[in-house]
Amino acid sequence: MEFDGMTADRPPLRLLIVEDQVDLAENLFEFLGEDRYCLDFAADGLTALHLLATQSYDVIVLDLMLPGVNGFDVCRRIREDLRCQTPIILMTSLSALNDKEKGFDCGADDYLVKPFELRELQLRIEALHRRHSPLKPVLQAGEIRFDPGTLEVELHGLKTTLSGTSSRLFELLMRAYPNFLGHTTLTDALWGGARYGDAEGNNLRTQVYTLRKSLQGSLGNGLIKTIHGRGYRLESPKDTDPNTP
C-alpha cells in the first residue's frame, strides 16, 4: 500500500488499538500494518491503561463497548489519571448525539461511528497526528526540564534519557510538581488500576529506587523526595538551597 505524501525517512507512527472484536482488530492490523505504522493491541481497558502507563504512542484508537471498564471510563482515566494527552479516536456503533457529547467530554479528540471505511480511519489518524505532534511542550519544574517527546531530562546542562516505566513515573511527578503524588495514585496510573497492597507498594518502591539511582548517576541528583507514609514528589535543587531567594 502507498501512503500519499509519505516518505521512507519519516518514523513510523505508534498506534494503540483498543478493540475487543478480534475480526475488526485483525482488519485494522492488516490495513494499517505497513512501514508507516507500529501497532500495539489491547482487548480490554485495563490492558490499554497498563500499556499507556509504560509506553508512548502517537494516536490511540479506542472502542467504547469494551469488557470490564468501558471506553468512556478508559478515555477519562487516560486524561485524568495518567495525565496523558495523546490524541484519542473513539470508534463505536453508538451514534446518538448524547453519546458523542459524552465521548468528547471524557477527553476524546475524534469520534468515528461503525461501520466505517478503513481509509477514513487512516485519514483521521494522520490528521490528528499532524495537529498534535507539535503540541508536546517541554515540562519545567524548578531547574529540571523534561521533554515528553524525547524522554530527555536536563539539569544544570547535564542530560539523560529515560525509558519505560521510569519515563512515565518521572513525567507524572513532573506534571504534579510542586505537589506530591500518593502511593495509590501512582500505582493506579502506572499499572492500570492495580489494588495498592504490599506487592504493589514494593513494586512502586523498586521503580522509584531505580529511577533515583539512574538520575543520581547521570545528573548528580536523585531528584525524588519520599513523603513518608504518603507518596513521592519531585524536588528541584533550588527547593532545598537555603540561598535561593
Cβ contact 56:16 at 8 Å: no
Higher pLDDT, 11 or 4: 11
Per-residue pLDDT band at 90 (split at 50, 70, 90):
very high
- Ordered by start, the domain boundaries in the chain are 13-132, 139-239
**Spacing of C-alpha 10 from chain mean position:** 22
* pLDDT per residue as tens digits for the range 17-70: 999 988 888 888 888 876 578 888 999 999 999 888 878 888 999 999 999 899
Percent of residues, the chain, with pLDDT higher than 70: 87
Q: What is the DSSP annotation of 78-91?
A: HHHTS-----EEEE
Name, in order, each residue with C-beta under 8 angstroms of 111's C-beta and a sequence gap of 6 or more: 89, 90, 92, 100, 103, 104
Average pLDDT of the segment spanning 69-97: 92
Q: Are 226 and 232 in contact (CB under 8 A)?
A: yes
Query: What is each CA distance from 88 to 61, 69, 124, 144, in whole angstroms?
Result: 6, 16, 10, 29
Architecture category of domain 13-132 in CATH: 3-Layer(aba) Sandwich (3.40)
What is the pLDDT at residue 189? 78
- Average of per-residue pLDDT values in the chain: 85
d(CA 107, CA 76): 6
Q: What b/e string do you get for 32-54 counting C-beta neighbours within 10 Å, with b at 16 or more? A: beeebbebbbbbbbbbbbbbbbb
Q: Which three cell numbers stand for residue 73?
A: 471510563
CA–CA distance, 142 with 233 (Å, rounded to integer): 13
pLDDT at res. 8 = 36
105-140 pLDDT, tens per residue? 999 999 999 989 999 999 999 998 888 765 567 889
pLDDT at 88: 95
- Cut 0.75: pTM above it: no
Domains 13-132 and 139-239 share a fold: no
Place of cell 479528540: 109
Topology (CATH) of 139-239:
Arc Repressor Mutant, subunit A (1.10.10)
Residue 210 backbone dihedrals phi, psi, to 5 degrees: -60, -45
pLDDT at 97: 93
Three-point CA angle 1, 86, 161, nearest 5° = 95
Contact 24, 35 (CB under 8 A): no
- Per-residue confidence (pLDDT) for residue 85, from 0 to 100: 84
Residues 210/150, Cβ–Cβ less than 8 Å: no
- List Cα–Cα distances, 60 to 19, 29, 108, 160, 176, in angstroms: 11, 14, 10, 27, 23
